[in-house]
Amino acid sequence: MSKLRRYLAPASFVVLLCVLYGRGLVEHMKKAADPYFFNDDARIQIFPFFRYSNPESFANDYLGDYALSLLPTGYRALYWLGAHTVDAFTLSKILPYPMMLFTVVLITLVAFRIGRYPAAFVAACLVLGSNLYIERITGALPRSFGYPIAAAALFALVYGRWRWLAVTTVVGAAFYPTLGLFSGLLLTLWMIVAPDEDRADAKGLPLKRRFVVLGATAALSAVLLIPPSLGSAEFGPRITGRDFETYPEAGPGGLASAEDRPPFSATLPSISSFMERAVVGSGGKWWPWLGEKMRGLEMIVVDTFLLIGFFGAFVLGRRRDDVRRLALYPIAGIIGHLFARGFAPYLYGPNRFVLYTIPPLFAVVCGIGLGGFVERFLPAATARTKHAATVALALLFLVMIAGHGHTSAGLSFGLGDAQQKLARAVSALPEDALVAGWPDDPLSNVPLVSRRRALITGEMHIAFHVAYLEEMRRRMHALIDAYFARSVGPLIRLRDDFGVTHLIVNKGHLGLRPPGYAPPYGAWINEAVAKDKGRPYYITTHLGALSVYTDPTFAILDLSRLPSGP
């Protein structure tokens, strides 16, 4: 009977979470299993591994070479292995769910250590109900390792295991260097700044040994960072804010979002968004009627929840070293954010230090703080009364804002019927085909979905390195000239000088209003459209003779059918 009691509580805990969130996760899995639904960034970071399973289709793939050079060492090794076993795209669909489980379990265990079941339940509900975690983990991209690594760092910190945090730092460097740096900063604060009585299993370590630990961890991490640093250097120096005048596509109104380029003006608005998304549940609400009544009031509940949480955590921290160590977590995130801003663009994405630290911290603090709050205001109550009051507070907040979880978060791109037909037609092209077309979604899908090389895609038009961007300019200029050509010459140059075998045409682009694009390409488009104006586009007049596929929107042209010369 004692054994039954021992396992009854955790079993009931797991069953309740499965009832609340199991259906949403199953629906998410079903949608992810569809090959035509995926995370849009998979079109950057998954297709480079097809060269190992489809070498004929991805030989001499410049876009893939560049994408591969940017990927972390451990991530490349994992997908190299996956590409030789289950296929990289399949692996990217499977991995997110064990990664999500890992994140939930560790954050729940952190909250459980401090606040037992009420805190653990709140933390688990916030993680499973938020669309933030599953959105970032879906796709099994390098960034997908952010929350698992952040959760592992939080676990090591609260449980007082510096060796685990050192391992987490090295793993972070191998899979997502932003979180590797964060974990390293956290380890440094623990070893150098925290009082000796709060260092847990590092308590009493001589200063010299602590520096040896930090040095060894930093050295191992640095070794793992060498391959991507050397690989990406082949594509020229990094583009910085000083280069925006020369390369306007890297600056405001260009190819990068405001949160990922100086002066990082979107940081503060993104913090507010992360706060809400970290605490307010997505999907169907636990109590739909109340959820409708609470519409627009969620941030008031969030702010109250966090205020009580941090107050309660402060109360607990007066007597618990594991809670006091939690204070190092946001400090490491702030330092990482400031480093990334100061050394931009070399420590990519300052807002990532906010995105991957605030939500796990909030999940734990919202859970454990309720117990501390009750302890402060009901100091003379019995343990049973305190427990009941904590449970009541937890349910009060959760019933107002908790949801059952998003069923498609992170599956940010789906192909409609027309694009599915186009993708199948492209996949039927010869394996050595090099496909060109307007660099929007249909072209971005070509390497990932159709498994054919592309001349340039919107997703791979990345303004990080000078030599790569110069090559994208050269390709884009040739594409614009060919797309809006009034004679056959530019199309022949696209075929003969760039090796393009097939051109995808969106027929709507050749009407009265040509498509726009980031600067400086808009001016090039206008120039090409104005040239020999009055004559029809060559593609329009020869569509029937050149097409190997056509539908109401798209056509695929076989450039081998062009004449041998102008």
Q: Is residue 351 part of a domain?
A: yes
Find all residues with CB under 8 Å of 153, minimum gap 6, and list them: 165, 168, 169, 172, 179, 182, 183, 186, 329
Q: Considering the chain, what is the average pLDDT of its residues?
A: 90
Of the listed ranges 80-89, 206-215, 248-257, 273-282, the one predicted with least confidence? 248-257
pLDDT tens, position by position, 121-155: 999 999 999 999 999 999 999 999 999 999 999 99
List for the chain the helix, strand, coil content (%; round to 5): 65, 5, 30
Q: What are phi and psi of 269, to 5 degrees?
A: -60, -35
Decide: helix, strand or coil at residue 265: coil
Indicate if 371 and 435 belong to the same structural domain. no
Indicate if 372 and 420 belong to the same structural domain. no
Residue 344: pLDDT above 60?
yes
Decide: helix, strand or coil at residue 285: strand
- Which of 343, 366, 401 corresponds to the end of one domain? 401
21 HSE (CA, 13 A, CB side): 24
Indicate if 389 and 429 belong to the same structural domain. no
* pLDDT at site 420: 95
Indicate if 129 and 263 belong to the same structural domain. yes
Q: Is residue 318 part of a domain?
A: yes
Indicate if 171 and 250 belong to the same structural domain. yes
pLDDT tens, position by position, 543-566: 999 999 999 999 999 999 998 765
Indicate if 108 and 239 belong to the same structural domain. yes
Q: Is residue 75 part of a domain?
A: no
Find all residues with CB under 8 Å of 226, minimum gap 6, and list them: none
* pLDDT at site 3: 67
Q: Residue 263: which pLDDT band, with cuts at 50, 70 and 90?
A: low
Indicate if 249 and 110 belong to the same structural domain. yes
Q: Is residue 247 part of a domain?
A: yes
515 HSE (CA, 13 A, CB side): 16
Beta bridge partners, 437, equal: 504
Q: Is residue 57 part of a domain?
A: no
Instruction: Tell the burial category of 100 from Cβ atoms under 10 Å away from its Cβ (0-12, 13-18, 19+).
Output: buried
CA 390 – CA 263 distance, rounded (Å): 43
Indicate if 477 and 389 belong to the same structural domain. no
- Which of 372, 401, 430 corresponds to the end of one domain? 401
CA 182 – CA 351 distance, rounded (Å): 12
Q: Residue 269: which pLDDT band, with cuts at 50, 70 and 90?
A: low
Average pLDDT for 87-100? 95
CB 552 within 8 A of CB 478: no
Total tally of structural domains belonging to the chain = 2
Indicate if 269 and 390 belong to the same structural domain. yes
CB 133 within 8 A of CB 103: yes
Angle at 494 (CA atoms; ends 491, 498), nearest 5 degrees:
165
Indicate if 239 and 154 belong to the same structural domain. yes
Q: What is the DSSP letter of 347?
A: S
Residue 472: pLDDT above 90?
yes
Q: Is residue 83 part of a domain?
A: no
Residue positions counted in the chain: 566
CA 401 – CA 284 distance, rounded (Å): 10
Residue 268: pLDDT above 70?
no
CB 100 within 8 A of CB 133: yes
Q: What are phi and psi of 317, to 5 degrees?
A: -65, -20
pLDDT tens, position by position, 14-51: 999 999 999 999 999 999 999 999 999 999 999 999 99
Q: Is residue 409 part of a domain?
A: no
Average pLDDT for 425-448? 95
Q: Residue 225: which pLDDT band, with cuts at 50, 70 and 90?
A: very high
The residue behind tokens 């907040």 is 397
Q: Is residue 154 part of a domain?
A: yes
Token pair of 189 as six digits: 């604060």
Q: Residue 1: which pLDDT band, with cuts at 50, 70 and 90?
A: very low
Indicate if 369 and 428 belong to the same structural domain. no
Could you tell me the CATH number of the domain that includes residue 487? 3.40.50
Question: What end-to-end distance do the CA atoms of the chain give, in Å?
Answer: 89
pLDDT tens, position by position, 199-220: 999 898 999 999 999 999 999 9
Q: Provide the domain limits for residue 499.
A: 416-561
Decide: helix, strand or coil at residue 263: coil
Residue 112: pLDDT above 90?
yes
Indicate if 376 and 426 belong to the same structural domain. no
